[in-house]
Amino acid sequence: MRTSLLFILRSIAYGLALAFILVWFFPNLAGISLPSFQSQAEEQSTAPVSYSRAVRRAAPAVVNVYTRSRIVDPRSLRPRTIERQELGSGVIMSAEGYILTNYHVVYGADHIEVALQDGRWLEAVLIGQDEISDLAVLYVQADNLPVIPQDPAIEPQVGDLVLAIGNPLNLGQTITQGIISANGNTGLSSRGYPDFMRMDAAINKGNSGGALVNSNGVLVGINAAAFQVQNQDIQGIFFAVPYQLARNIMEKLIKYGRVTRSYLGVSGEAVVNSAGDRLFSTGQPLYGLMLTEVAAGGPAAVAGLQSGDIILEIAGQQFADMRQAMNFIAETAPDTELPFTIDRGGQRLTIVTTVREQRRR
């Protein structure tokens, strides 16, 4: 009992001594107060969620596009020419004056003007247009042009928040919000058409050609259209051209005035073995791409590729799916010879195929 009492008294004495030393040598400690976690939580809960910084960075580079064209009045019994006016949006992509917009915004236009957010009105020249990707490049001559923030290495993900900026119904610049449901990073589909980005940020008439940006204000796509099916009320499905594709198309239009694409003339699917069993899960090991259809007279048929052949490599490269392979073909210059390594009935062969330019019908 006596030992326990001495231990308690000794502990109290040590504690008082330590307190005296701290107060004597560190007098400021006496004024320290512990942070109020409750007040910090309350402050955070009342702070507004805002994307104003993203809008400030991107919005000045989004322009209103106005077009005029003369057409024959379809309502008149006698041929009569009338003036048609169209509305859209555009994105200033470079300080040199190049603007991206949609093909359907400027198609058939005789006169194009753009209105900047700083009040300037500029006449625009059509540099080139591409119907497949629904893109067109305009040029304006002006100084001190605001340029949309861009990141060549950007990789938008499904679930990312996005803001669509444009001029719907000529109401003035408007921002709508949504999330990405498909990022469109597979490039061209097996039919040779682009896989557009899918999201639910509202796109109305006049938004076409505007900017789709992320929460940092960096361009991720060019707004294109709403998904529509006749006699069906569909909401929340809108399309944008992915930034990487749009940038690639723009550079080709500036350099060549048009976009050339190669094609192979095949359809196919990923398989897991030489027997041609389909790939159903990303966890399965990929064996190759089996051709399910070879178009008569197409480049593949001319080279000797057959339905049932399994493509193992194209020019030494392996591809995860048919879309990725067709995108590679599309980006290859027409009339280029490519070696195809295939499995035909268990025999490994190499067939040289000349890809040809895909033309719109």
Could you tell me if 125 and 111 lie in one domain?
A: yes
244 and 186, same structural domain?
yes
Whether 314 and 328 share a structural domain: yes
Q: Does residue 198 lie within any of the structural domains?
A: yes
Q: Which two tokens stand for residue 260?
A: 């050339």
User: Which range of residues forms the domain containing residue 199?
Assistant: 160-256
Instruction: Provide the token pair at 153.
Output: 């290495």
User: Based on the domain organization, do 249 and 269 belong to the same domain?
Assistant: no
Q: Would you call 134 a catalytic residue per the annotation?
A: yes
Q: Of 210, 237, 256, which one is at a domain's C-terminal end?
A: 256
Q: Which of 104, 130, 133, 262 is catalytic?
A: 104
Final residue belonging to a domain, choices 190, 224, 256: 256
Domain end (from 222, 237, 256): 256
Say if CB 354 and CB 299 are below 8 A apart.
Answer: yes
CATH of the domain at 115: 2.40.10.10
135: which 2 tokens? Answer: 């893109």
Neighbours of 158 (CB within 10 A): 13
pLDDT at 245 over 60: yes
Whether 195 and 168 map to the same domain: the answer is yes
Model confidence pLDDT, tens digit, residues 54-99: 999 999 999 999 999 877 666 766 666 666 788 999 999 999 999 9
Comparing 304 with 30, which gets the higher pLDDT? Answer: 304
- Two structure tokens written together for 96: 């040199």
The count of domains in the chain is 3
- Residue 9 placed within a domain: no
Decide: helix, strand or coil at residue 247: helix
* Beta pairing partners, 354: 337
**Annotation says 104 is catalytic:** yes
In the chain, the percentage of residues whose pLDDT exceeds 70 is: 77
Task: Check 134, 195, 309, 343 and give the catalytic one.
Answer: 134
pLDDT above 80 (res 310) = yes
Instruction: Report if residue 298 sits inside a domain.
Output: yes
Q: Is the pLDDT of residue 197 over 80?
A: yes
Q: What are phi and psi of 92, to 5 degrees?
A: -75, 115
CA angle, corner 59, sides to 57 and 60, nearest 5?
A: 85
Distance of CA 317 to the CA centre of its chain: 25
Residues 177 and 206 in one domain: yes
Helix (H) or strand (E) holding 122: strand 121-130
Residues 167-180 have a mean pLDDT of 91
Considering the candidates 208, 262, 309, 343, report the single residue annotated as catalytic.
208
Q: What is the DSSP string of 224-253?
A: EEE--BTTB---S-EEEEEHHHHHHHHHHH
Specify the pTM.
0.72
Q: Confirm if 295 and 266 have CB atoms less than 8 A apart.
A: yes
Assign 127 a pLDDT band (cuts: 50, 70, 90).
very high
Q: What is the pLDDT of residue 201?
A: 87
